[in-house]
Chain A
Amino acid sequence: MLTDACQTCPIYNESALKKLGVNTENFDFVVALAGNPNTGKSTVFNALTGLRQHTGNWPGKTVARAEGGFEYNDHNFKVVDLPGTYSLLSTSTDEEIARDFILFGQPDVTIVVVDATRLERNLNLALQILEITDRVVVALNLIDEAARHGIKVDERHLARELGVPVVPMVARRMVGVPQLLQAVEEVILGTYPTRPHRIKQQDTRLEQVIGQLVNAIETQFPSLPNARWVALRLLDGDASIEEAVRNHTLGDLARSNVIAPVGDVIPLQAVAS
């Protein structure tokens, strides 16, 4: 049912992709799936894993993390579908789940699904993720819808600007899935050297301040994957990161490499008691 459209594509090599459904035992690599709501993120997840996750058109529908697996070129991949969010800089539960996983879960690759019809807005999240990790593949989804509306995205140019692979896709028709898998593999193996776009702070004084803080963080948490991001969060007064520093879990999180799955719990402390 899922393969019919693709078996005819020349690149598609059936033996290369094997959908493993929920079977995520013994994986070699972890792939995180991030993106704005309404970008077809779940469709990409389903295309990769053969699962039929339904999440609907809502931010926060994937409140709990969904996981699935696939096998590609003899490697087993675990895919973690993160909640759809507009940003990683605010404080909603969804954003915290997504952010913590990308930062501390240290996925081997993070696929950022972006909607070709509203690229500018989707790039907001993509750029934030590129601040955290350089192992990113951008899935430029819904190019058919964009074409219908007279929008053409130059994916090569976009890839140069972002410094990571950009794969044009129509996930619901499986278009671009083989190329996505290839890009994921290339980033993992390092055959595609990524040079992620980093946000230019106009303020040179700010850059100095960030540098100072990065040094302080690296001395205390040497195992931390991305001290710069943590510095940015601390400067922003991010309460949950401050808390992680205070009780030393920041280092633990980085070392353990795994974040406990977050359930669908309402943060009730935020509500009047």
Chain B
Amino acid sequence: MTLDQLKPDLTATVTHLTTTGANRRRLMDLGLLPGTRVEVEMISPLGDPVAYRVRGAVIALRRKQAREIEIAVAQEEKTHAD
């Protein structure tokens, strides 16, 4: 499953980045790397981009980028911890 499919109210963990080059580096700079917990913070009124809570910060990614991030959804309910 990729990040763009993550439903609000669920927490997921990044498992793999399928992008390369500058895009991959930027995602990592923003703290998105395997093992990082992410959750949907809000969705743009036009449907794209989506903002995620990552390591305490709120980062907006376009869906095209989010598709390049593979995730595993945690089973528990969202805890609101950041």
Give the interface of A toward B (CB within 8 A).
86-87, 89-91, 117-121, 124
In the bound complex, how far is the Cα of B56 from the Cα of A121, in angstroms? 7
In the bound complex, how far is the Cα of B57 from the Cα of A129, in angstroms? 21
Tell whether, in the assembled complex, residue A118 and residue B56 are in contact, meaning their CB atoms are under 8 Å apart.
yes
Known interface pairs A118-B56, A120-B56, A121-B55. Does A90 touch B26 (Cβ–Cβ under 8 Å)?
A: yes
Chain A-chain B contacts (Cβ-Cβ < 8 Å), number: 29
Tell whether, in the assembled complex, residue B26 and residue A121 are in contact, meaning their CB atoms are under 8 Å apart.
no
Mark B33-77 against chain A: 1 for CB-CB distance below 8 A, else 0: 000000000000000000000111100000000000000000000
Tell whether, in the assembled complex, residue B25 and residue A91 are in contact, meaning their CB atoms are under 8 Å apart.
yes
> Hey, which chain B residues are within 8 Å of A117, CB to CB?
56
Closest B residue by C-beta to A120: B55
Known interface pairs A90-B22, A91-B22. Does A118 touch B29 (Cβ–Cβ under 8 Å)?
A: no
In the bound complex, how far is the Cα of B53 from the Cα of A117, in angstroms? 13
Tell whether, in the assembled complex, residue B25 and residue A121 are in contact, meaning their CB atoms are under 8 Å apart.
no
- Interchain nearest-CB distance for A60 vs B (Å): 13
In the bound complex, how far is the Cα of B29 from the Cα of A90, in angstroms? 8
In the bound complex, how far is the Cα of B31 from the Cα of A120, in angstroms? 9
- Interchain nearest-CB distance for A22 vs B (Å): 32
